[in-house]
A and B are shown apart, each in its own frame.
Chain A
Amino acid sequence: MIRCECPKEAVSQSNFSPGIVANDEMIVYALVNPLTSSVGQISKSQLKEARLSVCRASYITGPSAKQKTVDVLLASNVTRTHEGYLKATCEEIRGVKLGRSTTGAFCVIDDALKDYSAHAHLGYSEPSDPKLRNDRETARANLMLVFKKRGVSTVWAGDPFIK
């Protein structure tokens, strides 16, 4: 289903991608302190740029997912710590609305890398109207509720990681 607020969702963004992100896919958001461990710490600037990195759990093994999401961040700064991961279905993420409208607040866009085909981006949907500031704040907070619904997981296992 094509969503007007997320035109990029409808077209695969990378030659390395397994395809556009389907609603039934599980999306993993790695928690690395201090980058992403606190309740509200989903970077707004990354959401605005549609560059919040997440992992498509159907297209990667558990250990590889950890390597690509957590280990990379830990390697670049020794003060960081790994605190597990959150997960939500793509449908749940796309189901977060902007204010009282029926417009989806977030887009889930495939953005596979050559050595990381399960890579995807989350971003705010269009338009980027400053008057929607409170609605976007609300959407971000509700996105965290969606992610937190299943709790924090710490086991990076499975092939695929999560089916």
Chain B
Amino acid sequence: MATKKVYGIFEDDDVVLEAVKTLRAKKYNVVDVISPFPIHGMDPALGLKRTRLSICTFLYGITGTSLAFLMMYYMNIFDWPMDIGGKPSFAFYKNMPAFIPVTFEFTVLCAAHGMAITFFLRSKILPGVEPHVIDDRMADDRFVMTIEAATGAEAEDAKAAMTAMGALYTKD
């Protein structure tokens, strides 16, 4: 079933928050609000689930830790045993303190890059992708509410409802 997205452009954060609460109570399918700054209480008002990005970050971090350990085990213990700090122990667990700084940095590197790249992919912000600009000022001082409607008639109804709630103008 093809759904239709309609947008309402608002000029005030309190108005848009109130509109979200009212329209959701009237069973309109409000899917998103684009805002230049975080609005307190907007997440619960929209009924958004908590982001799973932090779980991804954790997994990327663990991957980084494992890769760093593997790399240093191969380089400094297996392939070319190193005498670290005058302690010729040649065992991974005994030389571990020397490996921790590198492991930490590599964990942070993988977690941070993985998180940022995942975010860009999920948000469809990639080089060469035409950005979807609904209003020229939507990242400046305006707020955009998105409603998903099943039919054309419902879309027109949603646009009228947004105008009634104080939208500056609406568009498809």
A and B: partners? no
